[in-house]
Amino acid sequence: MPVFLTTADPGFDAAFQTLLGQKREDAEDVDQAVAEIIADVRARGDQAVIDLTARFDRLTLTPETLAFSRGEIDAEIARVSPEDRAALELAADRIRAYHERQKPQDESWTDSAGATLGWRWTPVSAAGLYVPGGLASYPSSVLMNAIPAKVAGVERLVIACPTPEGKVNPLVLLAARIAGVDTVYRIGGAQAIAAFAYGTATIAPVDKITGPGNAFVAAAKRRVFGRVGIDMIAGPSEILVIADADNDPDWIALDLLSQAEHDESAQSILITDSPAFGQAVAQAVAKRLETLERRAIAGASWEQHGAVIVTRDLAEAARLSNRVAPEHLELCTADPEAFSRQITHAGAIFLGAYTPEAIGDYVGGPNHVLPTARSARFSSGLSVLDFLKRTTLAKMTPEALKAIGPAAERLAQSESLEAHGLSVRARLDRLNG
C-alpha cells in the first residue's frame, strides 16, 4: 500500500520528511565502472566503443557501422504506419512552435557615460542527444531534445541510441529525421557519452550532451561535465497531483499511474483536502493495476514510493507541493490558473482536469525533459536556452573611459592587481596628454 498521511496528525512533519528523503535513484555504485569506461574510450577510441557495445548490447559493429546509413534509416521508417507518422509530425509541429517563442533577442544600448553595452546569443556548434534504447526507447524524447537544438541553430546534431541485439525502434529514427538530426549512432551507455565528450576517429566530439539514461549514463554525464555541457542529471520520474473532491477518481488514478509505469523507482503523490476522495483514488489505482499492461512496474512504484496526503485546505496543499518541487504537477481544482500562482517550485504545471500530464509528454508543446529529485527548486526544464550561449558586449568611447576608467583603476589598486590598473591608466594618460 502507498503511504497515507494527514497534515493534522502530530507525526506528519516527520513522516513527510521521510517521504521527501526517500532515495529512489539507482543504488548501484557505478561511478568506478564508468570512470574505467571513459578512460578506455579516451585511450582506444572506436575500438573501445565497439568492444563495449558487443559486451553490453550484444551487437557487433565496425567503425563503418557505428552509425545508421541513410538507406537503413529509410528502410526502417518505411515500416511506420501513416497514423504513427501523423502523430509524430503533429507533436513535432507543436513542440517547434512552442520553442520558437523561447528564442531570446540580442540587445545593445548606450548608457549615460557613453559606453555601448549589450549581449549576443549564439548556439553551440554541436550537440549530442542520448536516447535510451531497448524497452525504454521513446521517439518523443528525440523530438523534445532535438527540436529545441535545431530552433537554437545548432549546426551539427547527433544521437546515440543503443540497439541491443540490433533491435531498432523505427519511430525513433523517424523522429530523428523529422527533427533534423544529422547522424544516429547505434551505441549507448557510458561509452556513448565518452565518445561524444572526447571524440573518436569516427565520432566527432560535441559541445553539449542532453537526454535521459540509466545510472551509467547519468554517472558518465556527471564525469564529463566541464569538458562538455550537459542538461541535467535526471533521476526517476515523478508526479504530484493536487485535486479536490470534484474530480473523477479514476482519471486521477490513471494520471498517477502514468508516471508509476515508467520505473519501479518513479514516484506518484496525490494531495487532496478530501479524505474520502483520497481513499477513492487509492481504490481506483488498485482496480486499474489489475489490468494495466505494466502493472508489475507500476504496482511496485505505487507500493514503495506512492503517497496520498490529506490537507486541511488547498493552500496547505500548495505549500507542501513547493516543498516537494515536483517534476510534474497537476492542478485539478476549481480555478487552477489562480491556484497556480501559489506554486513557486515545479518543473511543469498542468492546469485543470482536462490537462493530463501525458499530454505534456507528447503533444502539448512545452518540453518534457524536466528537473527531478526536487531540483525544480533551482533549475528548469530543457529549452532553446540550453543550446545557446550569451556573450556580453562592451565598447568604451574615449569620453566613456574618462568617465568610468578612474574607478576601475582604483578598484584594481585595492585588489593589488597592478597591471589591471595600469592598462586603464595608460589609456587615460594618452587621452589626458
For residue 308, what is the enclosing H or E element?
A: strand 307-310
The residue from 99, 262, 305, 328 that is catalytic is: 328
Distance separating alpha carbons of residues 286 and 421, to the nearest angstrom: 72
pLDDT value of position 15: 95
Strand order across the beta sheet in which 229-230 lies = 183-185, 156-160, 126-130, 208-210, 229-230
Let me know if 328 is a catalytic residue. Answer: yes
End-to-end CA gap in the chain: 83
- Strand-pair partners of 392: 119
DSSP secondary structure, 134-170, as one string: GGG--HHHHHHHHHHHHHHT-SEEEEE---GGG---H
Q: What is the number of alpha carbons within 13 Å of residue 80 lying toward its C-beta?
A: 24
3-state helix, strand, coil in the chain (%, to 5): 50, 15, 35
Average pLDDT of adjacent 10-residue blocks, the chain of 433 residues: 94 94 70 96 98 97 98 97 98 98 98 98 98 79 97 98 94 97 97 98 98 92 97 92 98 97 95 98 98 97 97 98 98 98 98 98 97 95 98 98 98 98 98 89
User: At a CB cut-off of 8 Å and minimum separation 6, what does 299 contact?
Assistant: 260, 289
Strand 116-123 to strand 107-110: parallel, antiparallel, or no bridges (unpaired)? antiparallel
Q: Give the chain's domains with CATH numbers.
A: 3-21+235-364 (3.40.50.1980), 31-106+122-230 (3.40.50.1980), 396-432 (no CATH)
Q: SS3 for 358-420, per residue?
A: HHHHHCCCCCCCCCCCCHHHCCCCCCHHHHEEEEEEEECCHHHHHHHHHHHHHHHHHCCCHHH
Residue 16 amino acid letter: F
Q: Cβ distance 218 to 265 under 8 Å?
A: no
- Which of 76, 238, 261, 327 is catalytic? The answer is 327
pLDDT of 25 reads: 62
Q: What is the pLDDT of residue 147?
A: 98
Amino acid making up residue 308: V
Sheet with 238-243, side-by-side order of all strands: 3-6, 307-310, 267-272, 238-243, 328-332, 348-351
Residue 255 to residue 328: CA distance in whole angstroms: 11
Q: Cell numbers of 34, please?
A: 564508468
Q: Tell me whether residue 64 is one of the annotated catalytic residues.
A: no
